[in-house]
């Protein structure tokens, strides 16, 4: 046997302070209340961060307003562009530090934070930097909205920050951003990066805290725009809270993506796509391919290959460079995954996971597949947001599309076939904002992302991503 | 001695799924002319009529959205041709609402031209709103606009121009709609429905209800099989109520705005009811 | 009589997906004990090769000496690989070492000779004591769609091999697509290949990680379906220990640990051995080694 020895990435590059204040108007200021953030792989407390209350949220919004009116709004696009380019470069320079910190705070494998998150973060800033002085050519006008209140989730902390802040700043808005309660640290390093880049104070304000802080932010009268990524339930609450205001809103919410494998699929790549679709980031991905729809003639073969492949997945220390599946982000999330998996069993689906030893401390869940699932099962309808795949079968392409679309969500979908016309046929009919054909979970700053129906509205990325931040 | 001929009065009904039913509730309400005189009885639709309208719109959606854009453009243009043929009738109906002759004529002309303008957009939207995205990898990556589904429309009080200005942008891209007509002036809407019914527009693409907005709009707003709302004709209070209800299934909501219906409408109304679908495919041997 | 041959329905290979998978596996970090284990394993899998027009008995004897005495307590390589006319020299030089003698045959590297010449080429090498024959397929026939001809030729050569193991070189650099690589792999296995081998080393690109990935998938699937295990040899362009370890990871996570022995996986190389030996020294002493501390042959 060829055993891979532990290959841990060094933590030395990261200097976590015992406590962090709120980043308001270019300064870190202590908050009245604090919360702790932990390493989900060890449950060790990493740091204490502020929990912004009403006054602090108000200060941040005011700082953003002043910066919008006095500095950032009036600044020519080409100057804004240079700040964003500068930020992009600093992110590249500090990418290893940020990757390690992201893995520590979030639990995701360093291979992903290093090879996926961080390159995409830098690319996103580069991409939108270039738009700052070209807005007149984008087709959405050139007038910024003002102050954007942005609330982001814990699954891709820094990447979601980039998706929010880069287009907002490029279009001349200023922001108050609230990172997720369990993953505030990279956002706080980003605050430091803003200072390093000499970004004018108040253009970016980072206020940490839990759900209440987010609620205070999105309901604050002083903001013109709300951008939220997170659960559909919270999305609904936000949509209600902006009703009757003039605030613009974009929401990127949950999903229950179908990954449709036709009998003429490139099977080995399809299996990789299935694995990448549901086990990337421990399945804590809104666009995860959590429903595998496989055509009956190849169902057995695909499942056999999938099980073999799953047995090679390496679960454990997020900082180990060979880890494929890291820790679940929080005890709460772990409990949800456990609960829904139990429901899956109770409803009669067959559960399988490869034998794998899980660490004693921390929050862990093995890569799991449920077979014999039907659309009626809760695990086929509800977003589990974990490394749990539900497998359904179909007989005809029409049936595949019907099942794929039979959900209130519509964020992403996958389709696997070697036949070009079938791919396009399916892609046309899948009601989802992103259709990955013969690939899955690929991302790029130039490519718009966002959902249909209850997966939210508005697009992030690409030229389309500018629309949410311009008045037109 | 001559007897004055007794006029045949028109019964104004609802337009659902290509048919003209009365409200299932059996209710109607009185429509007065500009001077306050009796004009006609209009059906007063109920929540069940809203439900039926949504069912018809949903049923029509797959077929309508699958038409080629060229075909949708042709069908809408054909509608414009038929509107032109009914100019006199629309002018008369607008005059009944209190408009002077010139104003009524102008509004009808403007409405027909607006309809023609939108008809031409069918096969251009994807070119203008879509994009080929230059991603950093061996992938073909294309974004195209797609209709969002069933649109609930609270039409404004501009009885014809405003009405066509909210219907055409919703359906040209492949959406189907359920429209609550202007409450005080719903009659041109029903006449428009008669035009639509005799055109090539498939039944169910446009469903027109007359009645009380405040009663009907919340049912549209809370209906889980409605994907989007155009609140053009909603009052401030109704807007808040509808927007809250719409949050339940994350409807796309177009809020009412100060609208000069004669102004260039731009793309806003069409974009409000479009999704962007982005398709990735590897490029390889 | 040669059986008629039908290729089973094989799923396609998506180039981008296959290359992504190979690239991802290449990021595995093999350190410390795992690295030591991998280096020694890689050494035992090396087919130490010299295939130059300028090869002489002297050169081959030197290579054989290196194969048998790689230096220190390093393990021996799997085989020495030479042209047919030097097989006898290699056999004598390696007598008693347990190291195999592989001979390229069938008008290597182009394969452009009449079948009779290829058969004689093979027969003579086997008679001279070659324990392994590395034949090349007829890429012209393959690319023109005459799979039967390719198949028949492999069957014919296989029967000339007698006890010697047959490695079938697909020359993947000329097959161009991964679909062709998969097809050719199955064709060779169905025709009786004991090993399928990527390349002659004379065509660029030679062995690559994704090509080897596709071939490893083929032997894995072939065993699952037909019950016979076939080996894989990656040859050409593998020069560093780091490269070699990437191949081992690929084997481990694609075909599986069953293939992680010299019996089922080989690395055809020449300069690779010295880099493996230098890395081995680095691991044992902690200091980087240099070319003067390993032997040249």
Q: Give the residue on B whose Cα is nearest the Cα of C175.
A: B285
CB contact under 8 A, B139 and C177: no
Domain ranges of chain C: 30-284
Cβ atoms within 10 Å of B205's Cβ, excluding its own: 26
The pLDDT value given to residue B249: 96
Using the predicted structure, report yes or no on whether residue A74 has a pLDDT greater than 80. yes
d(CA B28, CA B42): 5
Do residues A199 and A269 both lie within one domain?
no
What is the mean predicted confidence (pLDDT) over A372-383? 96
Pick the residue of C12, C246, C260 with the most A CBs within 10 A to test the interface with A by mutation. C12
Give the distance from residue B15's alpha carbon to the nearest chain A alpha carbon, in angstroms: 27
CB B23 within 8 A of CB B211: yes
Tell whether A313 is within 8 A of chain C (Cβ): no
How many residues does this entry show for chain C?
Answer: 297
Using CB atoms and an 8 Å cut-off, which of residues 235-274 of chain A contact chain B?
A: 235-237, 239-240, 242-244, 246, 251, 253
The verdict on a CB contact (< 8 Å) between C176 and B283 is: no
Q: Is position B238 within any domain?
A: yes
* Contacts C19 to B, Cβ<8 Å: 284
At A51 the pLDDT is 98
Number of Cβ atoms within 10 Å of the Cβ of A345? 12
Residues A341, A397 within the same domain: yes
Instruction: Select which of A56, A181, A286, A383 is catalytic.
Output: A286
Between CA C101 and CA C130 the distance in angstroms is: 5
Asked if B152 and B177 touch (Cβ cutoff 8 Å), the reply is: yes
Closest CA to B79 of B122, B112, B123, B121: B112
Establish if B208 belongs to a structural domain.
Answer: yes
| Distance, CA of A18 to CA of A37 (rounded, Å) | 10
3-state secondary structure of B211: coil
User: pLDDT higher for C113 or B8?
Assistant: C113
| Contact call for A2 and C13, based on CB within 8 A | no
Residue C217 at interface with chain A, using a CB cutoff of 8 Å: yes
User: Which tokens is B281 given?
Assistant: 């495919």
Annotated catalytic residue, options A9, A56, A112, A252: A252
A466 and A362 fall within a common domain:
no
Question: Which chain C residue shows the shortest CA-CA distance from B140?
Answer: C16
Under 8 Å between Cβ of A290 and A256: yes
Number of domains comprising chain A: 2
- CATH at A266: 3.40.309.10
Contact by Cβ (8 Å): C163, C199: no
The tally of CA atoms less than 13 A away on the side-chain side of residue A459 is 30
Contacts of C13 in chain B (CB under 8 A): none
- How far is Cα of residue A414 from the mean position of the Cα atoms in its chain? 18
Token pair of A44, please?
């060790």
Q: In this structure, is the dihedral angle defined by the CA atoms of residues A37, A39, A43 and A45, taken in order, positive or negative? A: negative
Q: A464 and B135 in contact by Cβ < 8 A? A: no
Handedness of CA C151, C152, C154, C159 (dihedral sign): positive
Q: Three-state SS for C197?
A: strand
The residues near B32 (Cβ < 8 Å, ≥ 6 apart) are: B38, B39
Q: What residues have CB less than 8 Å from A434, skipping those under 6 apart? A: A287, A411, A412, A413, A447, A449, A450, B277, B278, B279, B280
Written as six digits, the tokens of A169 are 């700043």
DSSP 8-state code for residue A117: I
* Chains sharing 3 or more CB pairs under 8 A with chain C: A, B
End-to-end, the C-alpha distance of chain C in Å comes to 45
CB count within 10 Å of CB A421 equals 8
pLDDT score at B10:
82
For residue A304, the model assigns a pLDDT of: 97
CA terminus-to-terminus distance, chain B: 92
Q: Which residue has the higher pLDDT, B98 or C219?
A: C219
Contact C17 B282 (CB under 8 A): yes
Are A40 and A107 in contact by the 8 Å Cβ rule? The answer is: yes
The answer to whether C36 contacts chain A (CB < 8 Å) is: no
Q: Does C16 touch chain B (CB under 8 A)?
A: yes
**Cα–Cα nearest to B232, from B163, B278, B176, B280:** B163
Q: Is B222 on the interface with A (CB under 8 A)?
A: no
For residue range A399-411, what is the model confidence (pLDDT) as tens digits?
Answer: 999 999 999 999 9
Angle at C85 between CA C81 and CA C88, to 5 degrees: 75
Task: Give the chain A residue whose CA is nearest to the CA of C217.
Answer: A268
ipTM above 0.90, yes or no: yes
Quote the domain boundaries for residue A47.
19-253+452-471
Q: For C30-284, give the CATH class.
A: alpha beta
- Rounded to whole angstroms, the Cα distance separating A265 from A417 reads 4
Q: What single DSSP character describes residue A361? A: S
Q: Is A263 touching C (CB cutoff 8 A)?
A: no
CB-CB contact of C42 with C242 (8 Å): no
Task: Indicate the helix (H) or strand (E) that contains B150.
Answer: strand B150-154
Question: Which 8-state DSSP code applies to residue B9?
Answer: P
Neighbours of A342 (CB within 10 A): 12
Q: Do C79 and C53 form a contact (C-beta atoms < 8 A)?
A: no
Neighbours of C168 (CB within 10 A): 29
Angle of helix A95-106 relative to helix A118-131, nearest 10 degrees, comes to 120
Q: Diameter of chain C by CA atoms?
A: 60
Of the pLDDT bands very low, low, confident and very high (cuts 50, 70, 90), residue B3 is: confident
Q: How distant is the Cα of C178 from the closest Cα of chain B, in angstroms?
A: 8
Answer whether residue A53 shows pLDDT above 80. yes
Are A434 and B280 inside 8 Å of each other by CB? Answer: yes
CA neighbor of A50 nearest in space, from A205, A202, A208, A183: A208
Contacts of A100 (CB under 8 A, 6+ apart): A9, A10, A11, A13, A14, A110, A113, A319
Would residue B3 count as lying in a domain?
no
Distance CA C231, CA C214 (A): 13
pLDDT at C161: 97
Q: Are C16 and B285 inside 8 Å of each other by CB? A: no
**Min Cα separation C180/chain A (Å):** 14
> Rounded to whole angstroms, how far apart are CA atoms C28 and A27?
41
Chain B residues within an 8 Å CB radius of A408: 224, 249
Q: Are residues A272 and A235 part of one domain? A: no
pLDDT of res. B9: 82
> Treating both helix axes as pointing N-terminal to C-terminal, what angle do A54-67 and A211-218 enclose, rounded to 10 degrees?
50
Mean pLDDT of A171-186: 98
Q: Which residues on adjacent β-strands are paired with residue C132?
A: C102, C165
- Map tokens 């706080």 to a residue: A188
Question: Would you say residue A153 lies in a domain?
Answer: yes
**Per-residue pLDDT tens digits of chain C, which is 297 residues long:** 556 789 999 999 999 999 999 999 999 999 999 999 999 999 999 999 999 999 999 999 999 999 999 988 999 999 999 999 999 999 999 999 999 999 999 999 999 999 999 999 999 999 999 999 999 999 999 999 999 999 999 999 999 999 999 999 999 999 999 999 999 999 999 999 999 999 999 999 999 999 999 999 999 999 999 999 999 999 999 999 999 999 999 999 999 999 999 999 999 999 999 999 999 999 999 999 888 888 876
Range of the structural domain that residue B189 is part of: 39-282
Which of A111, A321, A438 is closest, CB to CB, to C14?
A438
> Residues A96, A204: one domain?
yes
pLDDT value at residue B11: 82
Among C14, C177, C178, the residue with its CB nearest the CB of B282 is C14
Chain C residue with Cα closest to A440: C17
User: With the C-alpha atoms ordered C181, B136, B279, A289, is the resulting torsion angle positive or negative?
Assistant: positive
For the beta sheet containing A27-29, the strands, ordered from the edge strand earlier in sequence to the opposite edge, are A27-29, A22-24, A204-206, A174-178, A147-151, A225-229, A248-252, A456-457
Tell if the CB–CB gap between B247 and A239 is shorter than 8 Å: yes
- The per-residue pLDDT for range A200-221, each reduced to its tens digit, is 999 999 999 999 999 999 999 9
CA A431, A437, A438: angle at the middle one, nearest 5? 150
Q: How far apart are CA B208 and CA A331, in angstroms?
A: 51
Rounded to a whole number of angstroms, the distance from the CA of A448 to the nearest CA of chain B is 7
The count of structural domains within chain B is: 1
Closest CB from A265, A268, A439 relative to C16: A439
> What is residue C4's DSSP assignment?
P
* pLDDT over 70 at B38, yes or no: yes
| Inter-residue contact A136 to A35 (CB < 8 Å) | no
Do the domain assignments include residue B14? no
State whether A305 and A282 are in the same domain. Answer: yes
Domain CATH for B106: 3.40.605.10
The residue assigned the tokens 């324990």 is: C131
Between the CA atoms of A334, A340, A341 and A346, what dihedral angle is there, to the nearest 10 degrees? 150
CA distance C124 to chain A (A): 38
CA distance B174 to A428: 13
- The answer to the question of residue A109 being in a domain is yes
Centroid of chain to Cα C222: 18
> Which residues on chain B are in Cβ contact (under 8 Å) with C17?
282
Q: Give the catalytic positions of C in this structure.
A: 134, 197, 233
C13 touches chain A (CB under 8 A): yes
Q: Which DSSP state fits A70?
A: I
- The answer to whether A24 and A57 are in contact (CB under 8 A) is no
d(CA A463, CA A141) in angstroms, rounded, equals 12
A314 and A433 together in one domain: yes
Q: Supply B239's token pair.
A: 């807007």
- pLDDT exceeds 90 at position B8: no
- Indicate the Cα dihedral angle C27, C31, C33, C37, nearest 10°: 50
Cβ of B138 under 8 Å from any chain C Cβ? Answer: yes
- The H helix count followed by the E strand count for chain C is 12, 8
Nearest chain A CA: its distance from B64 CA (Å): 13
Q: What token pair was written down for A361?
A: 């401390």
The string of pLDDT tens digits covering residues B136-186 is 999 999 999 999 999 999 999 999 999 999 999 999 999 999 999 999 999
Secondary structure (H, E, C), A172-206: CCEEEEECCCCCCHHHHHHHHHHHHCCCCCCCEEE
Q: Do A97 and A121 sit in the same domain of this protein?
A: yes
Q: Is A252 marked active-site?
A: yes
What CATH number is given to the structural domain containing A109?
3.40.605.10
Beta bridge partners, A460, equal A449
- Work out the mean pLDDT of chain A and round it to a whole number: 97
Q: What is the DSSP string of A232-253?
A: HHHHHHHHHHHTTS--EEEEE-
Do both A362 and A400 map to the same domain? yes
Tell me, yes or no, whether A264 and A214 share the same domain: no
Is residue B8 situated within a structural domain? no
């Amino acid at each position: 046997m060829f055993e891979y020895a532990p290959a841990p990435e060094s933590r030395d590059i990261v200097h976590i302070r015992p406590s962090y204040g709120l980043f308001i108007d270019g300064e870190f200021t202590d908050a009245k209340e604090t919360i702790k953030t932990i390493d989900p792989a060890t449950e060790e407390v990493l740091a204490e961060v502020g929990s912004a209350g009403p006054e602090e949220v108000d200060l941040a919004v005011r700082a953003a307003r002043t910066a919008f009116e006095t500095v950032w709004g009036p600044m020519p696009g080409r100057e804004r562009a240079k700040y964003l380019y500068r930020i992009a470069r600093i992110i590249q320079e500090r990418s290893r530090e940020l990757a390690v910190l992201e893995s520590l705070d979030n639990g995701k494998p360093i291979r992903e934070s290093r090879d996926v998150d961080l390159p995409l973060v830098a690319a996103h800033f580069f991409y939108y930097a270039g738009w700052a002085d070209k807005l007149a050519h984008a087709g959405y006008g050139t007038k910024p909205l003002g102050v954007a209140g942005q609330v982001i989730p814990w699954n891709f902390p820094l990447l979601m920050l980039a998706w929010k802040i880069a287009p907002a700043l490029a279009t001349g808005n200023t922001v108050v951003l609230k990172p997720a309660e369990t993953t505030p640290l990279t956002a706080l390093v980003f605050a430091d990066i803003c200072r390093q880049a000499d970004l004018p104070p108040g253009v970016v304000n980072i206020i940490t805290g839990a759900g209440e802080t987010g609620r205070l932010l999105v309901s604050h009268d002083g903001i013109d725009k709300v951008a939220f990524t997170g659960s559909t339930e919270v999305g609904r609450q936000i949509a209600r809270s902006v009703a009757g205001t003039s605030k613009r809103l974009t929401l990127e919410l949950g999903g229950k993506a179908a990954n449709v494998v036709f009998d003429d699929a490139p099977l080995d790549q399809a299996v990789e796509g299935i694995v990448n679709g549901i086990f990337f980031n421990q399945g804590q991905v809104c666009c995860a391919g959590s429903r595998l729809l496989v055509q009956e003639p190849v169902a057995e073969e695909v499942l056999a290959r999938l099980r073999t492949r799953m047995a090679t997945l390496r679960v454990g220390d997020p900082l180990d460079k060979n880890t494929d599946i890291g820790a679940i982000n929080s005890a709460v999330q772990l409990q949800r995954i456990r609960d829904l998996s139990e429901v899956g069993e109770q409803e009669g689906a067959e559960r399988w996971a490869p034998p794998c030893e899980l660490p004693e401390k921390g929050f862990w869940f093995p890569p799991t597949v449920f077979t014999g699932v039907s659309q009626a099962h809760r695990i086929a309808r509800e977003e589990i947001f974990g490394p749990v795949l539900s497998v359904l079968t179909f007989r005809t392409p029409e049936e595949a599309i019907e099942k794929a679309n039979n959900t209130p969500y519509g964020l992403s979908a996958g389709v696997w076939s070697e036949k070009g016309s079938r791919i396009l046929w399916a892609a046309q009919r899948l009601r989802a904002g992103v259709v990955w054909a013969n690939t899955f979970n690929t991302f790029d700053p130039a490519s718009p992302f966002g959902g249909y129906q209850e997966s939210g509205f508005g697009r992030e990325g690409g030229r389309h991503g500018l629309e949410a931040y311009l008045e037109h | 001695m001559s007897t004055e001929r007794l006029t045949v009065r028109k019964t104004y009904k609802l337009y659902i799924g290509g048919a003209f039913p009365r409200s299932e509730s059996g209710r109607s309400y009185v429509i007065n002319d500009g001077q306050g005189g009796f004009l006609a009885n209009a059906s007063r639709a109920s929540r069940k009529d809203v439900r039926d309208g949504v069912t018809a719109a949903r049923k029509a959606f797959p077929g309508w959205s699958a038409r080629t854009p060229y075909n949708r453009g042709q069908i809408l243009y054909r509608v414009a041709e038929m509107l032109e043929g009914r100019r006199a009738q629309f002018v008369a109906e607008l005059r009944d609402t209190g408009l002077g002759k010139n104003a009524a004529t102008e509004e009808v002309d403007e409405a027909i031209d607006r309809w023609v303008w939108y008809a031409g957009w069918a096969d251009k939207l994807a070119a203008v709103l879509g994009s080929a995205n230059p991603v950093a990898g061996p992938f073909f990556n294309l974004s195209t606009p797609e209709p969002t589904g069933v649109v609930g429309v609270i039409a404004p009080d501009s009885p014809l121009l405003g009405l066509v200005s909210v219907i055409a942008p919703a359906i040209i891209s492949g959406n189907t709609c359920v429209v609550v007509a202007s409450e005080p002036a719903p009659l041109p809407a029903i006449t428009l429905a008669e035009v639509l019914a005799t055109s090539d527009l498939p039944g169910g693409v446009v469903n027109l209800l007359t009645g009380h907005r405040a009663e009907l709009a919340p049912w549209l707003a809370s209906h889980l099989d409605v994907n989007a709302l155009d609140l053009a004709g909603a009052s401030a209070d109704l807007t808040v109520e509808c927007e809250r209800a719409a949050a339940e299934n994350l409807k796309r909501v177009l809020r009412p705005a100060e609208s000069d219906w004669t102004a260039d409408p731009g793309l806003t109304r069409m974009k409000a009811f479009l999704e962007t679908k982005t398709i990735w495919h590897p490029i390889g041997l | 009589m040669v059986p008629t041959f039908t290729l089973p329905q094989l799923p396609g290979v998506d180039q981008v997906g296959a290359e992504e998978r190979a690239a991802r596996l290449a990021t595995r970090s093999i350190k410390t004990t795992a690295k030591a284990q991998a280096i020694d394993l890689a050494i035992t899998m090396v087919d130490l090769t010299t295939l130059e027009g300028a090869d002489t008995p002297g050169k081959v004897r030197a290579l054989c000496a290196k194969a048998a005495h790689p230096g220190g307590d390093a393990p021996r390589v799997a085989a020495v690989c030479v042209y047919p006319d030097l097989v006898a020299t290699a056999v004598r030089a390696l007598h008693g070492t347990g190291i195999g003698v592989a001979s390229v045959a069938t008008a290597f590297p182009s394969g452009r000779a009449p079948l009779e010449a290829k058969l004689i080429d093979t027969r003579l090498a086997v008679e001279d004591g070659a324990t392994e024959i590395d034949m090349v397929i007829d890429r012209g026939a393959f690319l023109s769609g005459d799979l039967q001809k390719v198949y028949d030729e492999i069957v014919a050569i296989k029967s000339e091999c007698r006890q010697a193991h047959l490695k079938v070189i697909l020359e993947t650099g000329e097959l161009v697509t991964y679909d062709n690589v998969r097809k050719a792999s199955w064709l060779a296995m169905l025709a009786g290949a004991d090993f399928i081998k990527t390349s002659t080393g004379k065509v660029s690109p030679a062995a690559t990680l994704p090509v080897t990935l596709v071939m490893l998938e083929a032997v894995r699937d072939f065993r699952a379906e037909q019950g016979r295990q076939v080996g894989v040899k990656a040859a050409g362009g593998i020069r560093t220990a780091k490269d070699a370890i990437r191949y081992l990871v690929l084997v481990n996570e694609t075909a599986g640990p069953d293939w992680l022995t010299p019996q089922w996986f080989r690395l055809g190389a020449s300069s690779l051995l010295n880099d493996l030996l230098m890395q081995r020294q680095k691991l044992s002493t902690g200091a980087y080694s240099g070319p003067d501390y390993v032997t040249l042959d």
